[in-house]
Amino acid sequence: MSETKAAIHSTEVGEAGARVVFLHGLFGQGRNFAQIAKALAPDFRSLLVDLPNHGRSQWTETFSYAETADRVAEHLTGSFAADGPVHVVGHSMGGKVAMLLALRHPELVERLVVVDISPAPSEGAGEFEHLLGSLATLELSGLARRSDADEALAEAIPDERVRGFLLQNLRSSSDGFAWQANLGLLRDELAAIGDFPHVESTFDHPVLWMAGERSGYVTADAEQEMERLFPRTVQVTIKGAGHWVHSEKPEAFVSALRTFLGAG
């Protein structure tokens, strides 16, 4: 992999079957889908992508969905999708990247799965403003161990699962603790991350639009725009799931993927 500004890190899971690319949400990593990818094997071969400014992918100076989608397209063209189009699954911010990828580079995408997000400004963006703002208050130089960070965030972020998800980005080295994700940029660009650009093109392949029953990210107001951009959309709601559908209801999530991606 070339060491350039646009370099993207990814990990393959499985050795055979139809190819599926997973794009994670804000402050996530490709490995968030590791258990899902293992559950899909051996029928599917998966690529877990760290989006720019996340995981082991390189940081950028600005954020836009179009540029992010183009960087993912470049990465796929040179590797996982070199032999033809692949299935793409994107959650939350990664779902918006996946939509732009399909609209801007339709030759790379066979089937698209958009998980708990809409092609519209996100209603839940304020939640991440609170979460990333809470992370920014951590005095990293004063941390002796990861549990110190967990304890310090417990009042601001009482959900233990959410804290664990966020703190996977905290890395320890001989120089102390640091954020692996580009916290400063992502926090500064929350308005752009919560938005969605206007696009005139359409994607005429099958699309699964998946929502968590207890989440507010997929709204009826967005249905008309979703149908305009993706005229072959099928909508599914996962009962009992919130925004993190794949981690809250993994069996239902895998079942829905198998049914949709395996359809003739």
Q: Measure the CA–CA gap between 98 and 118, rounded to whole angstroms.
A: 11
Does the domain at 9-123+196-261 match CATH 3.30.565.10? Answer given as: no
3-state helix, strand, coil in the chain (%, to 5): 40, 20, 40
Please write down the long-range contacts of 157-164, taking CB distance under 8 Å and 24 or more positions apart.
Answer: 157/131, 161/247, 162/131
> How do strand 170-173 and strand 176-179 relate by DSSP bridges?
antiparallel
Checking if the pLDDT of 103 tops 50, the result is yes
Helix (H) / strand (E) element for 46: namely strand 44-50
Q: What is the pLDDT of residues 25-70, one digit of tens each?
A: 999 999 999 999 999 999 999 999 999 999 999 999 999 999 999 9
The first and second tokens of residue 184, run together, are: 């400063």
Residue 42 preceded by cis peptide, ω within 30: yes
Give me the pLDDT at residue 175, please: 84
* Residue 128 confidence (pLDDT): 87
The mean of the pLDDT values for the chain is 93
* Extents of the domains making up the chain: 9-123+196-261, 125-188
pLDDT of residue 3: 34
In the prediction, which pLDDT does 4 show?
A: 36
pLDDT confidence band for 264 (50 / 70 / 90):
low
In 3D, which of 103, 69, 91 has the Cα closest to residue 205? 103
Lowest-confidence range among 114-128, 201-215, 246-260? 114-128
